[in-house]
Amino acid sequence: MKIPIEVSARHVHLSQEDLEKLFGPGAQLTKLKDLSQPGLFAAEETLTLANQELVIEKVRVVGPVRKQSQVELSVTDARRLKINPPLRVSGDLVGSERLILKGPRGTVELKEGVILAWRHLHTSPDEAQKLGLKNGDSASIKVKEDRALIFEKIVVRVDPNFRLALHIDTDEGNAAGIEQSGEGIQCKS
């Protein structure tokens, strides 16, 4: 089965409280475009990430809002900011890295919430069954591009609302020669 591969650049998920601190009271995210996973969208809003004088500007916010704010970076981004976030599954934020978020109307100091997102495979239950996988499994996928390689230790995430897609960060995409999207196949062990 062909597996779509999507490169996920640095981005921020915000809580409603932090959204309002950064963009003003009553602020709502404005949809720029839908993302491949149902219900998720790239917002028009962007932020600046800061660690003392080191900054990365125009970092996209992804909606909808969440219970807790979260920043997902690549290793290259983390090195640029001179921070050392842990490699984690999205949402596993306890004890993760800190960072300052700067918006047009305010600043938020995250005490934790910055991670390197573990590469993961979104799949519906039907697709997971066809692939012989279940939620929480580890999978391997071979990239079918010119710079072929095999991604291992991929966390499988199964949900009825998911569409089949392997999500990797920009560093992983660069290593595989994938700018935005590519294709792979499952490697059976």
59-72 pLDDT, tens digit each: 999 999 999 999 99
Give the strand pairing for 31-34 and 181-186. unpaired
CA distances from 143 to 71, 125, 181 (A): 26, 23, 11
In contact, 6 and 165? CB cutoff 8 Å: yes
Are both 173 and 102 inside the same structural domain? no
pTM assigned to the model? 0.92
pLDDT for 189 beyond 80: no
- Residue 18 sits in the same domain as residue 93: yes
Amino acid residing at 188: K
CA quadruple 97, 99, 101, 106: dihedral sign: positive
Q: pLDDT tens digits, residue range 92-121? A: 899 999 999 999 999 999 999 999 999 999
Q: Is residue 25 part of a domain?
A: yes
Statement to judge: residues 92 and 124 lie in one domain: no
Assess if residue 1 is contained within a domain: no
Domain membership of residue 2 (yes or no) is no
Enumerate the β-bridge partners of residue 175.
none
Find the domain containing 44 and state its range: 9-116
Q: What φ, ψ does residue 143 adopt, rounded to 5°?
A: -80, 130
Nearest to 6 by CA among 114, 161, 162: 162
Q: In the block, which residue shows the tokens 């573990």?
A: 118
